[in-house]
Chain A
């Protein structure tokens, strides 16, 4: 069976940057697997997320060698909408992700663009908001939410797409204890539904939901042995 998410000998440097941020990364993440990636800040974790999700090279060009494959197809030969139907990413900074005038519009944006029926869009919207505990904010503006609440809405907007692969780039960093427990149970639920998940984490308390933890150090991916 084709691996949902695979990286083969990936090297990447930003345009105008000093050398490569990622140096020969190899990775395969299976169906139903939760992979956590840890590392010092600046070690290339968010860059890896950009490569996994096709943001590199579709948005950021730079110097890319090697391949990222989604279900066996290189992201370089896929269009962004094609990638977005299979893979959802929650960015580190929710302000970079939210753009709609209301929470409802934000969470419904993805399903609407999948051309789903009105009923299904409504169901997905309700479910996603319920999963992150933000039902009460449906008609409010994302701009008037706190940092943690914005993170929850960014997460809901990805959950409503119901992609096969989910990338969480420190998606719990501004969320309170109760919210974190809720998101971890959402991740467990996604795993049970055979979703493929990559989570970037600084908080070791959140690693208990991961099947496997890898360390990214200076652009090189390696087994995590408890120390950064």
Chain B
């Protein structure tokens, strides 16, 4: 029997002094599936993604990652397994240059200089950022920041990816390029959950579509 990579068991979450955003939600996500998470604005999709990556901790219920209760895991431990793309890429960019943004996690992992250079060059090429490799990330356009943030997440080779609105700010050509890259990762066995309103993108990639409304799953289709 295939084990879920991420499992949420009766999870509830409310922001301080606010009504619950997620109420008693249970869900299993598998590495073997590309899961799309859809639903209207404010339905709890981004909150769900942040709960799955440990950025937000549920007030009730538990999140199990690879068979372990994530309540006992540090954010860094979760980050080694799950790559997360924020809805606003400006929130996760911090390095003084594009190439340093991409190489940062590889340096922390202790990769050799040759390996870092090779993976960063490949990543710059994949995301059409080679000519911007020395640019200051905060001066990039929204779409360029989005490509950089995705590149920095993917270069880390996580086992599972949670991407929040990855096509926002991307033009049609870059959307197609991103879906090609994600299809390649899917073939390599990387699990993915993608929060998106982009129907064309979802229809091309998703094996399973979860629809949320009012903090609950109202449809789960494979």
Contact = CB atoms under 8 A, between A and B. Distances in A.
B40 A92 contact: no
Contacts of A178: 40
B187 interface: no
A174 B164 CA distance: 10
Contacts of A152: 41
Interface string B148-183: 000000000000000001001111111100000000
B88 A95 contact: yes
B67 interface: no
A147 B174 CA distance: 21
Interface stretch (B2-10, B54-62, B107-115, B136-144): B136-144
A228 B171 contact: yes
A157 interface: no
B31 interface: no
B169 A145 contact: no
Interface string A118-157: 0000000000000000000000000011111100100000
A228 B88 contact: no
B141 A174 contact: no
> Which of B43, B168, B173 counts the most chain A CB atoms within 10 A?
B168
Contact of A149 (B39, B42, B141): B42
B142 A147 contact: no
B87 interface: yes
B42 A42 contact: no
Using C-beta atoms within 8 Å of the partner chain, give the interface range for chain B.
20 to 34
A45 B139 CA distance: 14
Contacts, number: 84
Contacts of A40: 143, 171, 173-174
Contact of B147 (A14, A17, A41): A41
A41 B142 contact: yes
Contact of B41 (A17, A42, A179): A179
A147 B144 contact: no
Given A17-B139, A41-B141, A92 B42 contact: no
A173 interface: yes
A46 B173 CA distance: 18
B46 interface: yes
A39 B143 CA distance: 11
B152 to A, nearest CB: 16
Contact of A202 (B15, B41, B172): B172
Interface in B29-77: 39-43, 45-46
Contacts of B197: 148, 174-177
Nearest to B39: A176
Interface in B77-119: 87-88, 90
Given A46-B142, A93-B88, A147 B169 contact: no
A145 B18 CA distance: 11
Given A93-B90, A93-B142, A147-B87, A41 B41 contact: no
B139 A175 contact: no
Interface string A40-52: 1110011000000
Interface in A169-218: 170, 173-179, 202, 204
B171 A41 contact: yes
B46 A147 contact: yes
A144 B165 CA distance: 18
A41 B170 contact: yes
A82 B149 CA distance: 37
Given A170-B169, A175-B197, A176-B41, A41 B90 contact: no
Contact of A41 (B15, B46, B144): B144
Interface of A: 14, 17, 38-42, 45-46, 92-93, 95, 144-149, 152, 170, 173-179, 202, 204, 228
Top-10 shortest CB links A-B:
A41-B143, A148-B41, A176-B40, A147-B87, A146-B42, A42-B141, A173-B168, A40-B171, A92-B142, A149-B41
24 contacts: A40-B143, A40-B171, A41-B141, A41-B174, A42-B140, A45-B141, A46-B142, A93-B142, A145-B42, A146-B41, A146-B42, A146-B46, A147-B41, A147-B46, A148-B197, A173-B169, A176-B40, A177-B197, A177-B199, A178-B40, A179-B40, A202-B169, A202-B170, A202-B172
